[in-house]
Structure 1
Amino acid sequence: MSSLFKWLVRAVSAVLILAALALLFTYYLASRSLPDYDAEREVFGIEAEVEIVRNNSNVPHIFGESDADVFFGLGYAHAQDRLWQMTMLRRTVQGRLSEVFGERTLKADELMRRLDLYRLAQGAVSAQDADTIRALEAYSRGVNSWLDRVNAEALGRGAPEFFLFDNSISPWSPADSIAILKLMGVQLTGHLNEEVLRAQVSLALEDARVADILPDIPGSGTAALPDFASMFPEADRERDFAALRPADPPSMLYPSPERGLAGASNAWAADATRSAAGATLMANDPHLGLSAPTIWYLARLDLASGGVIGASIPGVPALILGRSADFAWGATSSYMDDQDVLIERQNPDDPKQVQTPDGWATLTERPSIIRVKDGAPVTLTLQWSPNGPIIPGNHYNLGAVTPPGHLAALQWTLLTSDDSSMTAAMKLMRAKSVEDGIAAGEGSVAPSLNITMIDRETIALKTFGHMPRRDADHMTFGRLPAPGWRKENIWLGRESYAANPEFVAPSGGIVGNTNNKLLERPFPLHVSWDWGDSQRVQRWQALMQNREVHTRESFIEAQLDTVSITARNLLPLVGADLWFTGEAAPDGTPERARQRALELLANWNGEMSEHLPEPLIYMAWMRSLQTRLIRDELGPLANAFTHVEPIFIERVFRDVNGASVWCDVRQSAPTETCTEIARVALDDALLWIDEHYGGETEALRWGDAHQATHDHQVLGDVPVLRWFVNIRQSTSGGDNTLLRGRTSGRGPEPFNNVHGATYRGVYDFADPDSSLFVTSTGQSGHFLSRHYEDLGELWRRGEYIPMSLDPELARAAAVGTTILRPAGN
């Protein structure tokens, strides 16, 4: 027995030693790709010395004797810190993910091949001006210089992920950068999803009820839409439009966002008359899907036009957000309606032909081969009608609204090679004034953004991007898929840039946008039917008007504000007949739990603090309530409404145009009242909370449910590894707060924070070097780096780092300085 015990000890010890050695070896290999920031290198592709000074937050300050050399340095720094992210972005837009991940990403690759964005990006290189082309070329040389060093010195393949997946990396090119900018357009647009869903809902409900669940943002009325099914009389409505189901959950790395998770953002500015220090102020926080690392990369560039500092996107040689010494700019999603679905009627005698206003037209076709890891290649036949690419029914749930004998084509401003958006971004970055900034936007095509900007004296907001010119007689006003053979449904080109919304030096001294409806203009100059939520803007208006003058601190306070106007509006309405009714029920009963919850909510100010129980009770209640209201009318299609629709609930409980009918369960004999449904929904919510979190109601924490999920897009679900690569944080805020933390709406953790302010910047021209910024994770994409998540903790706490253009400050706090010298000199 003693001998057996000794051998067991030896065996276990050997296993532990081998495991430790394996971990050490793995760490060694992974750590080889951590860049040395304090180095001197000779490189090809620059004319003179380039200096990259990284401050203690790992923000590179890049200095060179020419702009081309500075952009070389940015490419070099991007590749050092975000090589894996850059290659994934490029593979996504190229439709080449399946070469690495196999069948799991086939759907994503198919969509990108059919949109043909990479080929369009290649064509768009020639649409840029000479300065931009030189910047793109120099940036590509910088990326490739780092790739050469990785290969020459075996620097851990450039990133730890390349030990697990295909590590082949083709050289970077200017088209790659333009393609990534186009990819951002895919991720910021949701109108196609809205068109399809509106068509599905219109097939299931009468018009008045469609206006309840998919309401117009308050304002003047909208012309009546045609019945969707009546536009396709040859289709059997019962048979062909019966598949009223929500879209499938996105597949791995699918680039198009789910409904409700397209772009959002906040931005506001004050002129000198509304500033305590007598100088212009601005704050901006763009909202995107949370990930590790974030999409943003902070940098300072020392250009001939002056220094600029702010947020870039790895792979793109421009600062998308930021400031210079005299000018600052920020971006919010404009929600411009830049997509239309056209249903193409196929020729019964030749399905490769579709009907046009001028007769039958033959589809343009091209084969495209997707190579699949561990699988056979897949050959697609890409098709285009005169209106745009043909998108199969398995994308965007188009199959549910495309009758047999028809195809769905997509009109989209993004789908052009005549795209000078990169040049517009470069000009905006070099602007010296609001006038220059507005002029820069004329070349912007897509994605469409609202650009808030300030100079030393003026504030402004201008919508960038092409606005489609629609016929005033368009059958669906761009709100539903429309017959592609009708002339009035086909775009007539684009509106002039002057037609884009513009607000310069407003009389009130403040301008801002929370994705709210910007203006009221008749179709077709309406800009959009679908906007961001109508709630955040109410809180923003109150915060701006509560002070006669503002400071940097008051703008930060607004950025971090967690009060939900939605909760303040809905709770008194929904619970009107439930507050303080009856005697206290016995402990342990559902009635007592309901009373305790209502007591908490009655004394709550709507602050969505991570430390409070009320936000969790409120969110669970409203989610349960909406489900009960819509489930019997919409059936499985109810699953498409993953987030609470505040205007819908308000219409129901105010009985707008008979909307209280939603409270009656159609399948039951009694007629249920809205009060009864509200009571039952609250009981459902409390039961769900008890099952998931337990404990005393007063001890619940919203932050336990509202976890920010900065997940690695590839390794985030891999056992063990996910503990190293994912970043999870308890967070405040919610769907409709200025400190926006959009919930997932799906799965067993529907309140996870998945979409929020991935960048925050506050710029103060009274003291420009007191300007601040932060991102949601850190500068490095390497999970072993201390800069992988260091900014994320500041972000969670509502803190920032300085935004200074002073080179001596950067050098004084440097964690490393890289000197690049021309090879051979």
Structure 2
Amino acid sequence: MTQFSQSVPECKTLTYEKKGKFDQVEIVWNDKDVPRIRADNYESLGFGYGYAHARDRLIELVGQAIAMRGQRSRYYGPEAFSTLGFLKTTNLNSDLMFKLRVPNEWVKEEFERLNRETQDYIFGYVNGLNYFVDHLSETQYQQIVGQEPMVRFEVDDVVRFTMRFGVMKELIEIGPHLVATANCINTSTPTDRVSFHRTPVEVEGGFGSNAWAYGGDVVEGGSAILLGNPHSAWQRNSHQLRIYMHQCHLTIPGVLDVAGTTFLGFPLPLTGYNADVSWSILDAATVTPYVMQLMDVKLEQDSIKYLVDGDYQSATIRSIEIETLQESGDITIQSYQFAQSHLGTLFQLPRTPNKPPGWYAITNPGERNAKGLDQFLSAAKARSTREFIEQIEQYRGVLCQLVIADKHGDVGYVVAGNVPPITDEAMASAHLGVEGVAFNVLDGSQTKNSFRDQNQRPLQAATSFYPNIISRGIIHNTNNSYKYSEFGQQQPDYPSVFGQHKQQRTLAAARLDYDPRLIMSYKRMQEISLNGKINALQALEVVFDNRNYAAETFLDWILTLESHDCSTTAKQAFQVLANWDRRNNADSRGALLFHQLWSKLVQAKLVKVTGFGDPEVDSEISTTPQSQKVILAALEQSIAELKQLNFALDTAWGSVLYQAAENQHVAMHGGSYEQGILNGEMPAELTHDGFDYILFGTAYLQLTQWQHGMICPQVLLADGQRDGVDSKARTCQLQMFLDKKLYSMPFSPPALGEHQDYR
């Protein structure tokens, strides 16, 4: 942290000029650094939030703008690695990806397609960002910006921030092969750097979320309860542009009143609430958002041709220019050429376990789409779960899942992004027909398999194609598919693009090999449903009890592997594990040793989820004699690791998992998805000082319920509102996290009137 703030309530009135008129914008920050912005129209409201957002997260937003413009190579060099959202690759791969898949002409077209009120809001937001920068003193500029690059924000930046949601996951497939693809087209493309860029894209462990919505039939009083638990990163630097939550409260009297958290430069609450509805966002981890079409391509000396319905067509060439920082400090422009077919760019991809090598096109109905801005602005005004889902469907844009609850007791689930409108039968008909090849790898040489309209735009699915759920029971989601999102009810089968429970493999959050969170959630839903109606305290305990599914399920058997002739340290380790409470609380002793051990068992593929997404089917551990030897060896290795780092076998979990605040350590709790801990905190590498940092996990919590018809939100943003600023608000919330407490956020008029910070 570079600065310290006392975080006392603060109020600021801005004057926003537009077309010769002057609007007043009021911003009030409470003692947790959360801004409430009040204005009379959308443009002024956007201006106020732009100002408040820049005050707290300026350098993060600059980094997002640079990345989405495809300019990281210009500022940081092409070969350095960076994390964008949750995907790690080289700057050059990132730049090529966004230049190719979010081109400037699409960005401008998409802005013009937005609703007028959305355009006004974005225009004001960008002006607010720039206004903040323009009014910094020289000293303030040095404190906040220092040696980091600075840009002038544009409306196009916000549109790019939104369009990225539709194409981001393509980076996993094509990112490491973009430079090699260009080399095939133009042999003058620099080849000495290809090896860096061929490094597979790393999906950072821990990216995911949880959400629970309890409907009126299971909640006292008939209204619903929602616990939103979207996971985010805890640490930012110029090469780690992960997901970081920022709280806000946006008000236009009589028109809009919404609060919640934004992230990734998207300037509207993606997890949030209004007076009548509350919602939480989750990664659509099981959704397959695009198809890959294998093309028959012929490279000739002066042309590139591809086969369509028996005839070879000539591809055109598209040049992408990348500004590149050289070691000398000079900026040069390098050009990369890509072949264009009627299906878009052609990518040369190597063989993988689920697809053959060759040239591929991608048909993605989520491309060329910024409607997510209309989507969340419209949904923010919904008055019921049903109306919220209708608005999400009308402006389908952001690829995610949403869990919703309302004051009337209805809860719901909806996929918010676009998916290929392809039934399983149509997908099978278009498939390559090769055993072991992924179900969405198709024969691109036939027009019938293009799944595009007469203008070669990807086909869009009808509303009826999507698996919405509205219930008065329980909705729970841990990045699983729709199929098991309603507790106690299996949904009818929808096409496989929505979930892989029908396949012989499952897609899990962050591409994890083993993620039993849904099984643990199902177990907890069974338990809390037994005793009648569910209350808010029970809902919060589902996250904060820190129960370890892997330990509850498998530790008793592991303890039977202790033999009479095992080493003294192994006996001590078995004793520590036997005495452990099988939770990942800050004071839990044994959690650290188990964490080190369990990661090795997962890596050795000794544990697996066998139910293909069905939470009623428990996971399994291999108990063969050979597996037992592997487990004992993994235990000995874990003991040695802790000894080398000077940690006792029974070191308290919170002494290695912690956050620094005001020159002191605040213990944390929670743990790995791979252990089925619902309070997910995925730690980075263990060092002599503890875990280096938290990759992703619980930072923001949103617990909403209605009492006497009024919403009563309780929230927490434990990692703080302000990037690079240590504050009393952050320290307070870290301590509240340790104490497993949330704070009441005033929202309704009576609550605002009673709260001194908002008077």
Q: TM-score, normalised by structure 1?
A: 0.72
How far apart are 1:448 and its partner, in Å?
2.2
Amino acid at match of 1:116: V
Q: Secondary structure at the match of 1:606?
A: coil
Work out the CA distance in 1 between the residues paired with 2:171 and 2:516: 20
Q: Does 1:679 align with 2:632?
A: yes
One-letter amino acid matched to 2:677: T
Q: In 2, Cα distance between the equivalents of 1:191 and 1:522?
A: 29
SS at match of 1:272: coil
Instruction: Report the CA distance between 1:745 and its aligned residue.
Output: 7.0
Question: Per residue, is there more strand in 1 or in 2?
Answer: 2
2:164 to 183, 190, 198: 183
* SS state at 2:670 partner: coil
Residue-by-residue CA offset, 1:551-597 (whole Å, 9 max, x unaligned)? 11111111223112123223345x27514x33xx6xxxx62222222
Comparing 350-359 with 84-93, greater Cα deviation is found at: 350-359
Give deviations 1:268-323, integer Å, cap 9, x for gaps: 11222311344221110112333349622111111333422211237433222211
Indicate yes or no: 2:670 matched with 1:732: yes
Matched AA of 2:116: A
Give the Cα separation in 2 of the matches to 1:705 and 1:363. 56
CA contact (8 A) 1:192 1:341 kept: no
Matches within 5 A, 1:794-813: 794-806=736-748
Aligned partner of 2:333 in structure 1 is 377
- Measured in 2, the distance between the counterparts of 1:100 and 1:733 equals 36
Q: What residue is the counterpart of 2:554 in the other structure?
A: 570
Deviations 1:362-384 (A, max 9, x none): 33433232223324332222444
| Per-residue deviation, 1:428 | 0.8
Counterpart of 1:434, as a letter, is T
List per-residue Cα deviations over 1:577-629 (Å, max 9, x = no partner). Answer: 514x33xx6xxxx62222222233345453122333322222222333345x4
| In 1: Cα distance, 2:608 partner to 2:97 partner | 32
- In the TM superposition, residue 536 of structure 1 has moved relative to its aligned partner by 1.6
Distance 1:344 1:702, change over 3 A: farther
Contact 1:113 1:382 in 2 (8 A): no
Alignment partner of 2:261 out of 297, 304, 311: 311
Query: Would the aligned equivalents of 2:704 and 2:713 in 1 still touch at CA under 8 Å?
Result: yes
What residue in structure 1 maps to residue 407 of structure 2?
456
The one-letter amino acid paired with 1:378 is: Q
Alpha-carbon contact 2:714-2:743 (below 8 Å) kept:
yes
3-state secondary structure, aligned to 2:203: coil
* Paired residues, number: 672
Where 1:469 maps in the other structure, the secondary structure is: coil
The structure that has the greater radius of gyration is: 1
The answer to whether the 8 Å contact 2:366/2:419 transfers is: no
Counterpart secondary structure, 1:107? helix
Is 1:356 aligned to 2:308, yes or no?
A: yes
One-letter amino acid of the structure 2 residue matched with residue 365 of structure 1: I
2:698 matches 1:779? no
> Aligned partner of 1:472: which letter?
M
Letter in structure 2 aligned against 1:345: D
Aligned amino acid, residue 216 of structure 2:
A
2:537 is matched with 553
Q: Distance in 1 between matches of 2:594 and 2:174?
A: 27
Matched, 1:44 2:17: yes
Compared CA separation, residues 36 and 98, structure 1 to 2 (3 A): farther
> Residues 315 and 612 (structure 1 numbering): CA distance in 2 closer, same or farther, change over 3 Å?
closer
Alignment correspondent of 1:718: none
In structure 2, relative to structure 1, the CA distance for the partners of 1:37 and 1:87 (3 Å cut) is: farther
Query: Structure 1 residue aligned with 2:74, among 84, 89, 99?
Result: 99
Task: Please tell me whether the aligned partners of residues 613 and 701 of structure 1 are also in contact (alpha carbons under 8 angstroms).
Answer: yes
Secondary structure of the corresponding residue to residue 257 of structure 2: strand
Change (3 A) 1:184 1:704: farther
Matched, 1:66 2:41: yes
1:268 corresponds, among 199, 212, 215, to 212
* Partner of residue 438 from structure 1, selected from 380, 389, 402: 389
Query: Corresponding residue for 2:700?
Result: 759
User: 1:185 deviation in Å?
Assistant: 4.9
Change (3 A) 1:477 1:276: farther
Counterpart in 2 of 1:320?
270
Residues 304 and 339 in structure 2, CA contact (< 8 A), matched pair in contact too: no
- What's the CA shift for 1:99? 2.7
Give matches, 1:101-500, under 5 Å: 101-103=76-78, 104=80, 105-116=91-102, 119-150=105-136, 153-154=137-138, 156-157=140-141, 160=143, 162-167=145-150, 169-173=151-155, 175-185=156-166, 189=169, 192=172, 248=199, 258=203, 260-262=205-207, 264-292=208-236, 295-303=244-252, 304-313=254-263, 315-335=265-285, 336-349=287-300, 352-357=304-309, 359-373=311-325, 374-375=329-330, 376-391=332-347, 406-417=358-369, 419-457=370-408, 458-470=410-422, 471-473=426-428, 474-475=431-432, 478-479=438-439, 481-485=441-445, 490-491=450-451, 493-500=459-466
CA distance in 2, matches of 1:727, 1:385: 56
Give 1:676's aligned amino acid.
K
1:647 paired with 2:647, answer no
Alpha-carbon distance between aligned partners in 1 of 2:463 and 2:261, rounded to the nearest angstrom: 26
Alignment of 1:594-743 (within 5 A): 594-627=570-603, 629=604, 646-647=608-609, 673-695=626-648, 697-698=649-650, 700-707=651-658, 730-735=668-673, 736-743=676-683
Unaligned runs of 5+ in 2: 81-90, 178-193, 238-242, 453-458, 484-490, 501-506, 613-617
2:460 match: secondary structure: coil
Q: What one-letter code is carried by the residue in structure 2 that aligns with 1:518?
A: Y
Identity %, equivalent residues: 16
**Matches of 1:322 and 1:128 in 2, distance apart?**
22
Contact (CA 8 Å) 1:196, 1:401: kept in 2 or not? no
Distance 1:84 1:693 in 2: 37
CA contact (8 A) 1:269 1:459 kept: yes
Describe the shift of the 1:399–1:446 C-alpha distance in structure 2 as closer, same or farther (beyond 3 A). farther
The residue aligned with 2:182 is: none
Q: Distance in 1 between matches of 2:730 and 2:365?
A: 36
Deviation track 1:471-520 (CA, whole Å, cap 9, x = no partner) reads 232237744755533567644623322221211124xx222211223317
The alignment partner of 1:123 has SS state of helix
Amino acid at match of 2:57: R
The amino acid across from 1:647 in the alignment is V
The answer to which of 750-759 and 91-100 deviates more is 750-759
How much does 1:692 deviate?
2.2
- 1:538 is matched with which residue? 519
> 8 Å contact 2:275–2:748 — kept in the other structure?
no
Letter in 2 for 1:771: P
Question: Alpha-carbon deviation of 1:36?
Answer: 11
Q: Take 1:682 and 1:761, find their aligned partners in 2: how far apart are those partners?
A: 38
Return the alpha-carbon distance in structure 1 between the equivalents of residues 553 and 173 of structure 2: 28
Shift of 1:77: 1.4
Letter in 2 for 1:331: I
Structure 1 portions without partners, runs of 5+? 1-25, 198-242, 251-256, 631-643, 651-655, 664-671, 711-722, 818-825
Counterparts of 1:752 and 1:292 in 2: how far apart (Å)? 10
Change in CA separation of 1:96 and 1:110 when aligned onto 2, cut-off 3 Å: same
Aligned counterpart for 1:510 among listed residues 458, 474, 481: 474
Higher mean C-alpha deviation, range 550-559 or range 312-321: 312-321
Separation in 2, partners of 1:371, 1:481: 34
User: Residues 154 and 816 of structure 1: is their aligned pair in 2 closer, same or farther, counting only changes over 3 Å?
Assistant: farther
Looking at structure 1, the residues matched to 9 and 527 of structure 2 have their Cα atoms a distance apart, in angstroms, of 50
2: CA distance, partners of 1:48 / 1:327: 29
**Larger relative CO (CA 8 A, sep 6+): 1 or 2?**
1
- Cα displacement (A) at 1:739: 0.2
Q: Which has the higher helix share?
A: 1
User: RMSD value over aligned CA atoms?
Assistant: 4.2
